[in-house]
């Protein structure tokens, strides 16, 4: 049980930073004491809204704040590496949002920076901290469905809300990087991380948002473990009707289906009722609000785990090495998109194994 206060600095003032604040609100023994945005106005507005004492307009200044013990990175993908560099220089524990980086090379640099600094590094992959997904893993571990044979996942919505996601060069990719990072790590979680991914085959295309992005807005990824088992990912930025977050795990003695975006609450309304859920496409008609959304998606469980690990001086079950492996799998997927062939997943053992 955590009996001390862990003081946190929040890098970012956008959508995901709000989710982290919602998740932390349910974690005892934490206090966000500082937040950063390059815009002073946005930094101050975020601080007022969440009751944060100090605001900064440079990452370096926040990381140098002597009261901050843990830095949470909720920034666009191209800023993850500079943020880790700033936090590691000040020997602060680091939590980074998904995807860890734009590619495996950047992710490897982040692993090495955190490792050389001797600090806790946590990969905030919400999917594997969703209560539904964790329960599915518990059932797998109990032997309820026998040996896992295949995993199928679909992550879809109608497109990102933040402009930086649409710039494929700045973001590092399109829908596959944005959403496939969830499903790749979920597959590793369901199969067991001891089973290495051998190679991948991928397809991607820009089918709808040709005027908005040079990246793919739809993609399919088939990954194959060294023992021959497979996982299939469908990722889309063109699915109307709200979020789809679905996993199907098939075993020799059964199957498990998780649908994190489903809700038992539904309503037909003719007047808007305010915020309903992430990526909701409609404000009236049939709507499906998600109560306690941050907990449903996994923000609460991941932040509680990371804080507990920090207090105990332990490495979390999702760290930068996991993020590096995911980035490396997606690097191979993008290579496969261009080649039209299966592509091997290259993991640097010096990075992955320390």
Residue 14, domain CATH: 3.40.50.720
3-state class percentages of the chain: helix first, strand second, coil last, to nearest 5: 40, 25, 40
* Cβ atoms within 10 Å of 214's Cβ, excluding its own: 12
Instruction: Tell me whether residue 170 is in a domain.
Output: yes
Angle at 39 between CA 36 and CA 45, to 5 degrees: 70
Give the chain's mean pLDDT.
94
Q: Which phi-psi region, left, alpha or beta, contains residue 50 (left: φ > 0; alpha: ψ -120 to 50)?
A: alpha
Whole-angstrom Cα distance, residue 267 to residue 65? Answer: 46
Instruction: Tell me whether residue 120 is in a domain.
Output: yes
Instruction: Tell me whether residue 350 is in a domain.
Output: no
276 versus 316: the higher-pLDDT residue is 316
Residue 1 pLDDT exceeds 60: no
| Per-residue tokens: 186 | 């979920």
| Residue 86 sits in the same domain as residue 202 | no
Residue 298 pLDDT exceeds 50: yes
Angle at 77 between CA 120 and CA 341, to 5 degrees: 105
> DSSP alpha helices (H): ranges in the chain?
15-24, 40-50, 59-64, 80-89, 104-117, 131-141, 168-171, 175-191, 293-297, 299-312, 320-339, 349-352
Q: What's the rounded mean pLDDT across residues 326-339?
A: 98
Instruction: Tell me whether residue 351 is in a domain.
Output: no
Q: Give me the CATH number covering residue 248.
A: 3.30.360.10
Whole-angstrom Cα distance, residue 352 to residue 90? Answer: 24
| Residue 112 sits in the same domain as residue 239 | no
Q: Which domain holds residue 210?
A: 128-291+329-344
- Provide the pLDDT for residue 119: 98
Q: How confident is the model at residue 213 (pLDDT cuts 50, 70, 90)?
A: confident
Whole-angstrom Cα distance, residue 198 to residue 272? Answer: 48
Whole-angstrom Cα distance, residue 32 to residue 268? Answer: 38
| Residue 164 sits in the same domain as residue 100 | no
Residues paired with residue 11 on neighbouring β-strands, in sequence order: 36, 73
Q: How many domains does the chain have?
A: 2
Residue 149 pLDDT exceeds 60: yes
| Residue 229 sits in the same domain as residue 311 | no
Grouping H, G, I as helix, E, B as strand and the rest as coil, residue 254 is strand
Instruction: Tell me whether residue 354 is in a domain.
Output: no
Residue 36 pLDDT exceeds 70: yes
Residue 113 pLDDT exceeds 50: yes
| Residue 114 sits in the same domain as residue 151 | no
* Cβ atoms within 10 Å of 26's Cβ, excluding its own: 15
Whether the bond into 254 is cis, omega within 30 of 0: no
**Strand bridging mode 6-11 / 30-36:** parallel
- Provide the pLDDT for residue 163: 85
Whole-angstrom Cα distance, residue 334 to residue 60? Answer: 33
| Residue 303 sits in the same domain as residue 168 | no
- Provide the pLDDT for residue 242: 82
Residues paired with residue 286 on neighbouring β-strands, in sequence order: 268
Segment holding 243, helix H or strand E: none
Residue 302 pLDDT exceeds 80: yes
Half-sphere exposure of residue 151: CA atoms within 13 angstroms, side-chain side? 29
Q: How confident is the model at residue 125 (pLDDT cuts 50, 70, 90)?
A: very high
Residue 210 pLDDT exceeds 80: yes
Whole-angstrom Cα distance, residue 155 to residue 237? Answer: 9
| Residue 57 sits in the same domain as residue 178 | no
| Residue 90 sits in the same domain as residue 16 | yes
Instruction: Tell me whether residue 235 is in a domain.
Output: yes
Whole-angstrom Cα distance, residue 311 to residue 203? Answer: 43
pLDDT in tens, 126-145: 999 999 999 999 999 999 99
Instruction: Tell me whether residue 36 is in a domain.
Output: yes
Instruction: Tell me whether residue 283 is in a domain.
Output: yes
Whole-angstrom Cα distance, residue 62 to residue 99? Answer: 22
DSSP letters of 300-331?
HHHHHHHHHHHHHT---SS-HHHHHHHHHHHH
| Residue 142 sits in the same domain as residue 280 | yes
């Amino acid at each position: 049980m955590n009996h001390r206060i862990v003081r946190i600095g929040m890098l970012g003032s956008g959508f995901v930073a709000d989710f982290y604040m919602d998740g932390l609100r349910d974690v005892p023994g934490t206090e966000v004491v500082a937040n950063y945005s390059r815009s002073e106005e946005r930094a101050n507005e975020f601080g007022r809204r969440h009751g944060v004492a100090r605001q900064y307009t440079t990452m370096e200044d926040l990381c140098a704040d002597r009261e901050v013990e843990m830095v949470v990175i909720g920034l666009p993908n191209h800023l993850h590496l500079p943020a880790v560099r700033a936090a590691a220089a000040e020997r602060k524990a680091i939590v980074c949002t998904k995807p860890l980086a734009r590619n495996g090379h950047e992710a490897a640099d982040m692993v090495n920076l955190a490792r050389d600094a001797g600090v806790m590094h946590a990969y905030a992959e919400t999917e594997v901290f969703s209560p539904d997904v964790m329960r599915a893993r518990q059932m797998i571990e109990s032997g309820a469905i026998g040996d896992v044979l295949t995993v199928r996942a679909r992550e879809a919505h109608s497109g990102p809300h933040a402009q930086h996601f649409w710039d494929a060069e700045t973001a590092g990719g399109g829908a596959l990087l944005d959403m496939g990072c969830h499903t790749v790590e979920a597959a590793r979680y369901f199969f067991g991380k001891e089973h290495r991914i051998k190679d991948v085959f991928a397809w991607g295309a820009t089918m709808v948002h040709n005027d908005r992005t040079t990246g793919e807005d739809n993609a399919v990824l088939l990954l194959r473990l060294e023992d021959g088992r497979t996982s299939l990912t469908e990722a889309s930025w063109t699915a109307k009707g709200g979020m789809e977050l679905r996993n199907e795990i098939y075993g020799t003695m059964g199957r498990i289906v998780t649908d994190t975006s489903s809700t038992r609450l539904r309503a037909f309304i003719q007047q808007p009722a305010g915020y309903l859920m992430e990526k909701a496409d409609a404000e009236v008609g049939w709507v499906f609000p998600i109560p306690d959304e941050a907990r449903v998606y996994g923000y609460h469980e991941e932040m509680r785990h990371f804080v507990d690990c920090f207090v105990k001086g332990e490495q979390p079950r999702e760290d930068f090495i996991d993020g590096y492996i995911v980035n490396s799998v997606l690097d191979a997927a993008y290579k496969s998109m261009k080649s039209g062939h299966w592509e091997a997943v290259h993991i640097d053992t010096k990075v992955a194994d320390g």
